[in-house]
Chain A
Amino acid sequence: GENVEQHPSTLSVQEGDSAVIKCTYSDSASNYFPWYKQELGKGPQLIIDIRSNVGEKKDQRIAVTLNKTAKHFSLHITETQPEDSAVYFCAASTDPLNTGFQKLVFGTGTRLLVSP
C-alpha cells in the first residue's frame, strides 16, 4: 500500500520568511496530493491540492510542487505570518477503480511555528 513520509517534523521560522515542507510517496499510481492545515483543537482544513497532471499550483502565499518521477511533492509558504502556525499534513491518494473516491494516506505532520 501507499506510504507517505513527511519532513521536517518541526519547523521554526521568523515572520516574513519562507517555509518549505516536503513529502515523498511510494505508490506510483497515486494521483492526488492534498495539503491540510490543522490548528490546535480543530479539524484539518484543506488548503491546497495538486493532481498528477500538474507540476505546480499557487494560491496567494501558498504553492505546491509535484515531481512525479522522484515521487515527491512540497508545500511552499512565502511571507509567513504568525497565523500560519499550525500542524501541516500532506497526503497522497489513488482512485484505482475510477469511482471519484480518493483513499487518503497521510504524512506524519509538520509543526510550523512562525515567530513575530
Chain B
Amino acid sequence: SAVISQKPSRDICQRGTSLTIQCQVDSQVTMMFWYRQQPGQSLTLIATANQGSEATYESGFVIDKFPISRPNLTFSTLTVSNMSPEDSSIYLCSVDSTSLLGEQFFGPGTRLTVL
C-alpha cells in the first residue's frame, strides 16, 4: 500500500483563521479523498480531490469552507476556512489502491483544535 503523510500532524488555531493541511503520497494515485472525524465519532467524506479539476463535494460540505487543491497525482491540500470551534476534528486524507479494487488507505490524520 502507498505511504501517506500529512502536515501538520496537529494544530491549535484561533477562531476566524484558516489552516491548510497537506497530504503527500509516495506514489501516483488516481483518487484522493478528504474525510472529517469529529471527536469520538465516525468518518465522514468531505470531498474527492480530482487532479486538474475542481473537487467533488459531499452533501453538507462547500468549496468556500473547504477549498481543495490537487495539482498532481501525489499531492493534495485541504483548507479549513474561517474556523470555528465546531471545526475541531481530525482531518484525514485517503487514497485508492492502484489495483482499482476499491481499497482505500488513510494517512495519519491532522488533529485540529479551534479555540
Contact = CB atoms under 8 A, between A and B. Distances in A.
Interface of A: 32, 34, 36, 42-46, 49, 89, 93, 95, 100-104, 106-109
Nearest to A32: B102
Given A100-B96, A101-B31, A101-B96, A46 B42 contact: no
Contact of A100 (B45, B102, B106, B108): B102
A84 to B, nearest CB: 19
Contacts of B41: 108-109
B38 to A, nearest CB: 12
Interface hub of A43, A44, A102 (most chain B Cβ within 10 A): A43
Contacts of B4: 43
A89 B41 CA distance: 10
A43 B104 contact: no
Contacts of A104: 43, 45, 104
Interface of B: 1, 4, 30-31, 41-45, 48, 92, 96, 100-109
A101 B94 CA distance: 12
A62 to B, nearest CB: 16
B103 A42 contact: no
Given A49-B102, A108-B42, 18 more contacts: A34-B102, A34-B103, A34-B104, A42-B109, A43-B92, A43-B107, A44-B43, A46-B104, A89-B42, A93-B102, A100-B100, A101-B48, A101-B102, A104-B43, A106-B44, A107-B42, A108-B41, A109-B42
Contacts of B31: 101
Nearest to B99: A100
